[in-house]
Amino acid sequence: MKELDPMVFLAVFQEMLGPLLWIMLLAAVLAVAAFVALLVRERGIVSRRLVRAELLGLIGGVVALVIMAKVSSSGFTDAGGPADWFLIALVYGVGLVATTILTYAAMGWLQGKPRSSRA
């Protein structure tokens, strides 16, 4: 494989995840849209909410690794080289970031307008 073709990646992910791929992509798009809309509404990031969302993001990274182990034919003991470990770290990072964005947006929209400390 001398060139990167996005359609090959799409086909591989479709084969591995099936309909879950489209559900995950839709959830990602909705989470990012909700996050951006919340940032516009609040005109910034609420640090306390961000820290809580990051803590939940740690769990989301682990869940992403569990999903990866379930849908692939190999486990973590089969990781042999640096590329395998890089992919494992990448999956964990994507799960962490996605969960952080999703939970930050969900907490922000469910909480309502934040209390303003300005007079």
* 105 in a structural domain: yes
pTM here is 0.77
CB atoms within 10 A of CB 69: 13
Report how far residue 51's alpha carbon sits from residue 43's, in angstroms, rounded to the nearest whole number.
18
Read out DSSP for 74-105?
A: --GGG--SHHHHHHHHHHHHHHHHHHHHHHHH
- Look up the domain containing 15 and give its range: 6-111
37-78 confidence digits (pLDDT tens): 999 998 989 889 999 999 999 999 999 888 888 877 766 666
* 44 in a structural domain: yes
* 117 in a structural domain: no
* 116 in a structural domain: no
Contact criterion met (CB below 8 Å) for 94 and 39: no
* 118 in a structural domain: no
Domain total in the chain: 1
